[in-house]
Amino acid sequence: MTIIKLDKNLANQIAAGEVVEKPFSVVKELVENSIDANANNIKVEIVNGGIDEIIITDNGTGIEKSDLEMIAEKYSTSKIKNLEDLYKVMTFGFRGEAMASISSVSKIQIISKTKDSESGHLLNILGGEKEEIKDIGAEVGTKIIVQNLFFNTPARLNYLKKPKTEYGYILKYLQEVSLAYPEIGFEFISDGKNIFKYRKNENLKDRIYNIFGEDFSKNILEIDFSMVGMKVSGVISDPKISFMNKNKQLIFVNRRPIKSVLISKAISDAYNRFIPHNNYPAYILNLEIDPTLVDVNVHPRKLEVRFANEQNIFRVFYHSIDEKLNSVSLIKNGTDFTEVEDIFTQSSHSLHIKEICSQDTKYYTPSGTKFKDYSPYKDTSVNPGQSQIISSLAFSEKILEPKKDLSEDLNLTNDLHYTKLGKIIGQAHNSYIIVETKNGIQIYDQHALAERINYEKLVKKSKENGQNCQWLLIGENITLGINEFAILEENIETFKEMGFDIEFLAGNNIIINGIPDFIKKENIKNMFLAILDDIGEHKFSKSKTLQEVKNKIFAYTACRSAIKFGNKLSLFEINKLLNDAVLDYSATCPHGRPVIFEIDLEDLKGKYER
């Protein structure tokens, strides 16, 4: 097979596959060029999700006529001149690929004027072929019109999503970049409809209010932390609130949006003891760092970076968050480990784990079988070998389903120690319920168990009663963020079918006049915002079905009304919880977390060589 040199346009079309994946990619590249041109007002207009037309208008420095002639040539850039510049680049663009790639798969019109030029200049490019530059009247800045994206590569059109989905990608990006640059005014118009207009010279908190709404903006903490020549600034969510997804997590490095497992891990570790397990914090943080200490040229779309000293990066993010959370929280620094609590209110029924381990006691089983007396070791000191055996005790993580007929194996009495699931031993760390069964020991996550019970009750009630609306005496007024409003608009029919009565007011304001009858009339605003946020985790991919949205509401309601992780429970409360748990369900909470696991009696005996 003969080797040939590819035609320039074909080579650019191939390269465009990496740079221009979808309309969002075009918007991203052109908006970043506007920022690099020092624009403080940027207007983005799209038609049909950006597939038919994208228009970017800015008031930046503009493009000289001589530069305009080079603009669609691959590897032509004004951002760097040598290798040294690459290692300290602060601009978004630097490879000289974007305009060549975009122009090779679309029809482009560029109008630009600098402050020193007498007139503006117009350049048309069709599929990579440039026409002669013409003089034209224009204001200082640049306007780029991109039409018929992928017109000459029709196979690429098959990989695009629906226009609404492509619109969603663009909206999400524009909100992210506007948070990185609150001093820049941004305007977004889709199919002739003004989606948002943010004024220039705003501060970050104002921009957050405009994007995420009043409720979120009232629950944020400002970060301004410096260490080892780096600075972390921005906002994080108050530890009293958390989210069920990562939608509100943004990281910038020198105001460039990135994805970083390292930084995410540092932030997650700092929040670990402040928010519930499997919930997530929100944060919008920027790292200011010497550009020579970060390599931005390691990813085709520049979403990932490489740090010269990852340990310092982890430290600066962890300590900036940890310091702020400790300053506003009542939780003491460090985890407070407690012994297993004695939950019994009557001293006659007192049974303490320490007593079982330290005294010469007969072991009880629900079937009435008694094992031999446990005699204390002659040598009560613990040697290293024994310590290793104890610390390596392997719990069986097999998920168990509560059995309805377990009560037949138990000698039940009126004593609250006994339940249909087994004998209550105690509550550990105010979070885990320990139950003795015929075959060993079961340990329940009290929050996950209560959450599952609540969820099943809601599902059952919904099936029995159907979709009925309960009217509110006073409607609930809510100001939504841009994202939340878009999600509601997309799913409004589903909400109506479910029993919500929602009235749209001016701007992004709504009033909820009625809610489904399976929802309590408590914290309606928080519930509704959480549902929108949760549905939006995979937003704009497709409208959710009625059952999917209902399940989100059931899961949220069940979680928020469940016994909390860390709450000390009375014997009566534990007894009721375990007896309510005799349901036909898989032993996980609605979010998939395990409810229970068992330490098998034979495994336990084996660990002690019995």
Give the pLDDT mean for 147-163.
88
Nearest Cα neighbor of 432 from 445, 419, 414 is: 445
Average pLDDT over residues 401-429: 67
- Of 282, 309, 279, 274, residue with least CA distance to 293: 309
pLDDT, average across residues 22-29: 93
| Final residue of a structural domain among 198, 227, 242 | 198
Q: How confident is the model at residue 380 (pLDDT cuts 50, 70, 90)?
A: very low
Q: Does 163 share its domain with 23? A: yes
**Are 296 and 359 in the same domain?**
no
Residues 177 and 320 in one domain: no
Q: Are 72 and 128 in contact (CB under 8 A)?
A: yes
Same domain for 59 and 140? Answer: yes
Q: In the β-sheet with 220-227, what is the strand arrangement from edge to edge?
A: 220-227, 230-237, 283-288, 249-253, 256-258
pLDDT score for 596: 87
CA–centroid distance for 45 within its chain:
28
Q: Is the predicted pLDDT of residue 48 greater than 90, yes or no?
A: yes
Q: Is the pLDDT higher at 416 or at 232?
A: 232
Task: Tell me the C-alpha distance between 468 and 498, whole Å.
Answer: 8
Position 460 in a domain: no
CATH number, domain containing residue 507: 3.30.1370.100
DSSP secondary structure, 545-590, as one string = PHHHHHHHHHHHHHHHTSPPTT----HHHHHHHHHHT--SS-SB-T
Per-residue pLDDT averaged across 273-285, rounded?
86
Q: Which domain holds residue 284?
A: 204-328
pLDDT over threshold 70, residue 28: yes
402 plus 490 within the same structural domain: no
Rounded Cα gap, residues 9 and 402, in angstroms? 66
Q: Is residue 459 part of a domain?
A: no
In a domain, 178, yes or no: yes
Residue 292 CB contacts under 8 Å (≥ 6 apart), including other chains: 87, 88, 308
For helices 163-180 and 482-498, angle between their N-to-C axes, nearest 10 degrees: 140
CATH number at residue 112: 3.30.565.10
Reported as a pLDDT band with limits 50, 70 and 90, residue 108 is: very high
Confidence bin at 21 (pLDDT 50/70/90): confident
Q: Is residue 337 part of a domain?
A: no
Q: How many domains does the chain have?
A: 4
Phi/psi of residue 410, nearest 5 degrees:
-110, 150
Based on the domain organization, do 65 and 118 belong to the same domain?
Answer: yes
Output 519 or 194, whichever has higher pLDDT: 194
Distance (Å, rounded) from C-alpha 582 to C-alpha 27? 55
For the stretch 53-97, pLDDT in tens is: 999 999 999 998 888 887 766 545 554 444 454 444 455 544 446
Phi, psi for residue 269 in degrees, rounded to 5: -65, -40
Q: Is residue 463 part of a domain?
A: no
Kindly state whether residues 281 and 134 are assigned to the same domain: no
Which of these three, 198, 228, 261, is where a domain ends? 198
Q: 12 CB contacts (<8 Å, ≥6 apart)?
A: 74, 100, 101, 103, 104, 128
Predicted TM-score (pTM) of the model is: 0.65
What digits encode the pLDDT tens for the residues 510-566? 999 998 876 777 778 877 887 787 676 654 344 456 677 677 777 777 777 788 888
**Cβ–Cβ under 8 Å, residues 468 and 478:** no
In this prediction, residue 386 carries a pLDDT of: 37
- One-letter identity of residue 469: C
Task: CATH number of the domain at 576, please.
Answer: 3.30.1540.20
Reported as a single tens digit per residue, the pLDDT across 109-118 is: 999 999 999 9
Residue 133 and residue 162 in one domain: yes
Model pLDDT for residues 208-221, shown as the tens digit of each residue: 998 888 888 989 99
| 338 inside domain | no
* pLDDT > 70 fraction of the chain, expressed in percent and rounded: 73
Phi/psi for 288 (5° steps) reads -95, 125
Mean pLDDT score of the chain: 77
pLDDT tens for each residue of 317-343: 999 999 999 888 644 444 333 333 333
Distance CA 103, CA 124 (A): 9
Copy the structure tokens of residue 603. 């495994």
Does the residue 437 lie in any domain?
Answer: yes
Which are the contacts of 328, defined by CB distance < 8 A and separation ≥ 6? 221, 238, 239
118 and 237 co-located in one domain = no
The CATH number of whichever domain residue 255 belongs to comes to: 3.30.230.10
Q: For residue 421, is it within any domain?
A: yes
Could you tell me the pLDDT band of residue 403, with boundaries at 50, 70 and 90?
very low
Q: Does one domain contain both 388 and 534?
A: no
Are residue 323 and residue 265 in the same domain, yes or no? yes
Main-chain dihedrals φ then ψ at residue 598, nearest 5 degrees: -115, 140
Whether residue 284 contacts residue 250, with contact meaning beta carbons closer than 8 Å, is answered with yes
Residues 146 and 253 both lie in one domain: no
